[in-house]
Amino acid sequence: MSDATIEVYENEARRFPPPEAFAAGALVSDRSLYEEAEADYEAFWARQARELLTWNQDFDTTLVWDLPFAQWFVGGKLNVSENCLDRHVAAGRADKVAYHWEGEPGDTRTITYGQLLSDVEKFANVLKGFGLAAGDRVAIYLPMIPELPVAMLACTRIGVAHSVIFGGFSPTSIVDRCDDAEAKLIITADAGWRRGAPSGLKSAVDTALADGAPTVEHVIVVNRCDTDPTMVDGRDHWWHDLMAGADDHCPPVPLDSEQLLYLLYTSGTTAKPKGIMHTTGGYLTQVAFTHKYVFDLRPDTDVYWCAADIGWVTGHSYIVYGPLANGATSVMYEGTPDTPRETERHGDRSAWTKDRLWDIIERYGVTQLYTAPTAIRTFMKWGVQWPDGHDLSSLRVLGTVGEPINPEAWMWYHEHIGGRSCPIVDTWWQTETGSHMISPLPGVTTTIPGTATTPVPGVFAEVVDQQGNTVDVGGGYLTITRPWPAMLRGIWGDPQRYFETYWSEYPGRYFAGDGARVDEEGNIWILGRTDDVMNVSGHRISTSEIESALVDHAAVAEAAVVGANDEVTGQAIIGYVILIGGFDDSPELREEIRQHVATKLGPIARPKAVNVTPDLPKTRSGKIMRRLLRQIAQGEEIGDTTTLADPSVVDALRASAE
Ligand code: WTA
C-alpha cells in the first residue's frame, strides 16, 4: 500500500468517533478513567472490583506484589458463577437472553440467564457426585455448544479449576495436558460440527485414555451429533442421563480471591506447553472492566458477538466470563465466522453461501463484533463487497484480536462490515495477560489502522531496547511495567520457568515476547513475536513443538520450522527436514510427514509445506539460522550469509522449496 493511500485511510479513521455512531446514548467510557488510574492505580482497580463484582466478603488489601508473584484483592471472597448468573437472576433478569446459540448446521437454542443458572447448578451437583471439590482440576474437550460454558461455570461454582482443551488438538495433547494438571475427569462430546460434517471428539479422548492420562477416572459425554460413540462401562457417562437425575439447587461456594480459576495451556519456546494459571477476583474484575469499556457495552440492549472459540483465551474471557459478569446478551456460534452457510444439503459445498457472518449479524441485530484478522482477510480474498441484501446497520463497535492487523484489512473491516460508522478496537493481549491490555476505548481514543494505540486505563506498558532502556519513539520490545489484576499467577508446576520466561529478561518488567514500535504520538504498533512462537490464524504454535513432532517421524533425522508470511492466515508453518539415510524424498513421503504432525498435535499444527533438504543452514556454532529459512520460504532476497558454516546450503534449500 502506498504512503498516500495510508494517509487517506488514516485521515478517514481519525474522524472517529463520528458523533452519529453514538446517537444511541452517551459513551460508556470517558477520559477521566485514564486520569483516575494514572493518579492511583491500585485505588482505581479496587473501585472497579467493588463496582463491577459482588463480593461475599470485601477484600482488605488491593495488591500484594512480590515480583514475580502478585495477589489481588487479598482477603476478599467471591464466587464466579454467582457473579455471572445468580446476581442477574436475583435482579429480575432471569428471562434475559445470555446466549443466542447457533450450531454450524443452522440449529439454534436461546438460553436465558435463568436456564443457564439452573443447568449450572445441576451440573455442579453432577461434579460433586463424582467427588470433585475445591482445588481439583477437570479437563473440558467440547465443541462450541452451550454445555461448554455450563461446564466451566459449574466448576467455578464449587472451586474446581478447569482446563479447556481446544477441540482441534490431538489425543497426545489431551494426554499431556491431563497429566500435567492431574485432571480427574474429562467432559467431552461425541463430536462437533465442522465444515459440514461431525468431527469426532470422544474417539480422541478414547485414544488418549488408552495411552495415558491415568489420573482421569471418568468421562462425561454430551450427545451433540448422534454419532453413537463407544461408551466404556463405569468410566463413561452420558451428560443427559446425569443431568436428568441432578438436583437443581447447588449454592455457590464463596472462594478466596486468589483461588485457581483455570489453567489454559499455551505454546512457548519449548516443546512443552505451559499451563497458564488464572485466579478468581483479579481476573474477573479486569475481564468485566474491559468487556464493558472496550466494547462500549450497554447490557440492556446490546447483542454482542465474539466469534472466537472458547478453546482459546479470547473465548474464555470474552464469550464466557466478561459478558456474563456484565449480564450481557451474546451470540455464540459453533463454527468459524468464515464457515460458509449451507443452504441445501450437508457436505455439498457447491450449495454453500459465503454470507454466514452477515447473516448472523443481521438476524440477531449484533451490535459489537469481535473477530480475528485472518477471518477478515478470508472475506477480502473471497472478494465480498459491502454485503448488499444484508442489513448490518445494527453494528456499533468492531473488535480485532490475535495478530497485528494490516492496514488494508483494517480498512476493509471498517468499510465493508462497519459501513464506515463503527470505531475499530484493535485489542492487544495474551493468554498470560488474561484480559485486554492495549486497546483504544471507542469514542475516546483516536484509532489509526494498524495500531492497538495505548494501554487501557490501569495498565502500564513501555517499549524498551535490548538493554532495557525505555524507547520513547522507535522500535523495541514490549514490556508491562506494573502488575495487573488479570495477570497470570504462574505456570502450573513450574515457578522457575514462570520467572525466567516473563520476568528475567528485563528486570522489574513483564516481557511479553512481542516486538513493538512507538510513534511520535505514543501509539504502540505491535510487530509480532520476537521468539520462536508462530501465529497461525491468530493461534499460537511454537516452532519447537512442531520440530519435535517432525523428528518423531521415522524418516526424519533433523527438522527446522519457520513461520512464513501468509496472505490469509498471517503466518504459515513451513518445515525443512533432513531425511534419515535410506529414505527417499517423494511427494507421498512429504504428505505423510505433514499428516504425522497433524496426528501428533492436531490439524491446526499441520505444516503448509514440508521441504526435504540435504542440509540446514547453521552458524559455525551450530545454531539454525531461521531468518534465512524464512527468507527462502517467502521467496525473498537472502541477506547476509557470511556467518553460515557452509554457504552452499542456500542453493540446495532454494531447490528444495520449488
Ligand atoms: C499476538 C490471544 C497484534 C501477540 C489474545 C501476542 C496481537 C499473541 C494482538 C498472544 C493484536 C494478540 N495485535 N498482535 N491486537 N493480539 N496478538 O496468547 O503476538 O493466543 O503475544 O492470546 O498474539 O496470543 P494468545
- How do residues 20-78 score in pLDDT, each as one tens digit? 444 444 567 778 899 999 999 999 999 999 999 999 999 999 999 999 999 999 999 99
User: What's the gap in Å between 540 CA and the centre of ligand 1?
Assistant: 8
331-353 burial by CB neighbour count: b if 16+ within 10 A, else e? bbbbbbbbbbbbeeeeeeeeebe
Least confident of 142-151, 193-202, 384-393, 448-457: 384-393
- Residue 252's Cβ-count burial label (10 Å; 0-12, 13-18, 19+) is buried
Overall size of the chain counted in residues: 658
In a domain, 151, yes or no: yes
Domain boundary among 253, 277, 304: 253
Ligand 1 site, CB within 6 A? 266, 312-314, 401-404, 426-431, 452, 512-514, 526, 528-529, 535, 540
Domain of 217: which CATH number? 3.40.50.980
Please state the domain count of the chain. Answer: 2
> Residues 277-306: pLDDT tens digits?
999 999 999 999 999 999 999 999 999 999
Which residue do the cell numbers 479496587 mark? 46
**325 alpha carbon – ligand 1 mean position (Å):** 23
pLDDT at 273 over 90: no
Q: Find the 528 Cα to ligand 1 centroid distance in Å.
A: 8
Residue 517 within any structural domain of the chain: no
- Residue 456 is given by DSSP the state P
- State the pLDDT confidence band at 348, using cuts at 50, 70 and 90: low
The protein residue whose alpha carbon is closest to atom 5 in ligand 1 is 430
Of the three residues 223, 253, 283, the one that is the final residue of a domain is 253
Asked if the structure places residue 147 within a domain, the reply is yes
Its domain, for residue 167, covers 111-253
Cis amide bond preceding 507, omega within 30: no
- Is 591's pLDDT higher than 90? yes
Residue 217 located in a structural domain: yes
Q: State CA 581 to chain mean position distance.
A: 41
Please say whether the beta carbons of 111 and 329 come within 8 A: no
Q: Whose CA is nearest to atom 23 of ligand 1?
A: 402
Q: Whose CA is nearest to atom 3 of ligand 1?
A: 404
* Residues 344 and 352: beta-carbon distance below 8 Å: no
Closest CA to 158 of 129, 140, 133: 133
C-alpha cell at 553: 517421524
Establish if 577 belongs to a structural domain.
yes
Ligand 1, pocket-test mutation among 429, 435, 480, 571, most atoms within 8 A of CB:
429
Q: Tell me the average pLDDT of the chain.
A: 90
pLDDT band at residue 442 using 50, 70 and 90 as cut-offs? confident
Give the separation between CA 525 and CA 116, rounded to whole angstroms: 40
Looking at the domain assignment, is residue 230 inside a domain?
Answer: yes
pLDDT of residue 343: 55
Q: Which atom of ligand 1 is nearest to the CA of 314?
A: 5
Kindly report the CATH number assigned to the domain that includes residue 587. 3.30.300.30
Answer yes or no: is pLDDT of 2 > 70.
no
Identify the DSSP state of 57: B
Is position 64 within any domain?
no
Which H, E and C letters describe 577-617, residue by residue?
EEECCCCCCCHHHHHHHHHHHHHHHCHHHCCCEEEECCCCC
Q: What pLDDT is recorded for position 538?
A: 80
Specify whether the CB–CB gap between 488 and 276 falls below 8 A: yes
Give the number of C-alpha atoms closer than 13 A to the C-alpha of residue 341, restricted to the C-beta side.
13
Is position 182 within any domain? yes
Report the atom number in ligand 1 closest to the C-alpha of 439: 15
Share of the chain above pLDDT 90, in %: 68
Query: If you search the block for the grid coordinates 524498551, which residue do you land on?
Result: 464
Which residues sit opposite 256 in a β-bridge?
77
Which residues, 6 or more positions from 9, have their beta carbon under 8 angstroms from its beta carbon? 407, 410, 411, 449
Domain boundary among 195, 218, 253: 253
CA of 620 to the centre of ligand 1 (A): 34
Contact 467, 479 (CB under 8 A): no
